Amino acid sequence: MNDFTRRNFLQTSALTGAAGSLMTPGLLTAGENKLPFPMGQAEHCIMIWLGGGSCHVDTWDPKKKGDAKARKAGSYYNAIDTAIDGVQVCEHLPKCANILDRFMLLRSVHHEVIDEHAAATNRMHTGRPTSGTIVYPSVGSIIAHQRGAAGEGVPAYVLIGYPNITRGPGFLGAKAGYIYLTDTSSGPNGLSRPTDISQERRSRREQLLAKMRAGYRRQMSQDQFIKDYDDTLAEALRLSGPNFAKVFNLDAEPADLRNAYGGEFGQRCLLSRRLIESGVRFIEVSHNLNFVNGTGWDTHNEGQLNQHLLIQELDSALSTLVTDLEEKKLLDKTLIVVSTEFGRPPEFDGGGGRGHQSKAFSVVMAGGGLKTGVAIGETNELGKEIVSRPISVPDMHATMHCALGIDPSFELTADGDRPVPITDMGQPVRELFA
């Protein structure tokens, strides 16, 4: 008869929990051997989002060349050598190739979402499947929640692109949310004072509003929605002064630097560097500008024909961002992550483009004080299957969190009392912390 009764189980669990609570944060609590997570020294993160599904065999993981017209599977472009011995990238990434020793290529990222852009985007941002019972926070919101802003008078999290629930704070609430903008020529909408409102008049309005807010919040003290709304309003008022607005003055930058970054996407990357300097902790920069090739990175049919324009734009902006941060002694403090919802298969569709593939694709990192100049993971001769070192999305997130000194196993609290680990059992790519 088994002596391990319910009482034994509860007593053992209680003792294990008590012991775990006394352990140093950042240590695994499961199993006999408690292996500490590697903790990096990065202070900021810039995530560049290639919305639509960037083709890994046409960018960071080139294979033998195919032929769209003949429906022969393979890469669309030639491959070129890089600053990492034995590692090649697409011919339209020459600027990044020359400095690839500052990069880390994760060539074996995978998940199981294939044909749903929204679900795959959610997976890459939250590290978890879409749930009908809980809205999980994005990686940006978790980092903002855990680390806060790195400077005074700035937000912790800025989204340069269109707002979306997959980028949001989920159950963490408004304080872990983002402010967003879609145009680099001005700051976020709603933060600047109308020209016909004087500072004195604004101050009187804020004083009256503060009294009304305090009273209403007392009346509705149990309403989380009201609390979140009030927190958002307080953050907007805090950021609406002139100091934060100065960050968006890109004209203060040298003309040759602005030209090196390139067009609108490049200016978003330049603004990201200025936001980092101001103390913003996490920035997502969207690069799904459909007007460049007609489809963005979702290169079905004719979108494939001008995909090189997107790749070239990425090459100029990303390489300049890396060298700009390096010259300002910020690269080791800033983890750059180039991510997308999934990759694309080596086969061509009837229109000469490509479909979707999530079982093997690439995510690229740079800087962050990690071990650069490496390619982790390998796919087969056509990039369809992972041959070695698979990296899950939770693993990718754990790597990001560890780089910023965050324990990926730390438990957040949802719905008042539900423990939710920061990652879904993610393990960092430890080779990058060697």
pLDDT in the model for residue 398: 98
Going by pLDDT thresholds of 50, 70 and 90, the confidence category of residue 17 is very low
Q: Look at residue 173 and tell me if it is in a domain.
A: yes
Q: Which residue has the higher pLDDT, 261 or 205?
A: 261
202 lies in which domain range?
A: 193-239
157/127 Cα distance (integer angstroms): 18
Residue 278: both structure tokens together: 């101001």
Query: Are 355 and 410 part of one and the same domain?
Result: yes
Q: Does residue 33 fall inside a structural domain?
A: no
| CB-CB contact of 224 with 173 (8 Å) | yes
Tell me whether residue 150 is in a domain: yes
- The answer to whether residues 332 and 395 belong to one domain is yes
| pLDDT score at 5 | 42
Helices 139-147 and 393-403, axial angle in degrees (round to 10): 30
Residues 142 and 201 in one domain: no
Q: What is the count of structural domains for the chain?
A: 2
Is 49 in the same domain as 106? Answer: yes
Same domain flag for 159 and 80: yes
Q: Is residue 268 located within the same domain as residue 214?
A: no
Considering the domain architecture, whether residues 218 and 303 belong to the same structural domain is answered as no
DSSP for 201-240? HHHHHHHHHHHHHHHHHHHTTT-HHHHHHHHHHHHHHHH-
Report yes or no on 105 lying in a domain.
yes
Q: Are residues 124 and 271 in the same domain?
A: yes
Question: Is the residue at 339 inside a domain?
Answer: yes
How many Cβ atoms from other residues are within 10 Å of residue 28's Cβ? 16
Q: Residue 341 and residue 113: Cα distance in Å, rounded?
A: 9
Q: Are residues 262 and 138 in the same domain?
A: yes
Are residue 97 and residue 198 in the same domain, yes or no? no
H or E element in which residue 80 lies: strand 79-81
Give CA–CA dist 416/230, Å, rounded: 19
Q: Return phi, psi of residue 339, to 5°.
A: -125, 170
> Is 90 exceeded by the pLDDT of residue 186?
no
Residue 3: inside a domain: no
Q: Are residues 71 and 147 in the same domain?
A: yes
Indicate whether 21 pLDDT > 60: no
pLDDT band at 228 (very low <50, low <70, confident <90, very high): low
More confident residue, 372 or 3: 372
Residue 32 lies in a domain: no
pTM for the model: 0.85
pLDDT in tens, 262-311: 999 999 999 999 999 999 999 999 997 676 878 899 998 888 999 999 99
Q: By C-alpha distance, which of 123, 150, 149 is closest to 138?
A: 123
Read off the pLDDT of residues 381-403 as tens digits, 9 standing for 90 and up: 999 999 999 999 999 999 999 99
319 and 95 Cβ atoms separated by less than 8 Å: yes
Percent of the chain as helix, strand, coil, to the nearest 5: 40, 15, 45
In a domain, 30, yes or no: no
Q: Is the domain of 226 the same as that of 339?
A: no
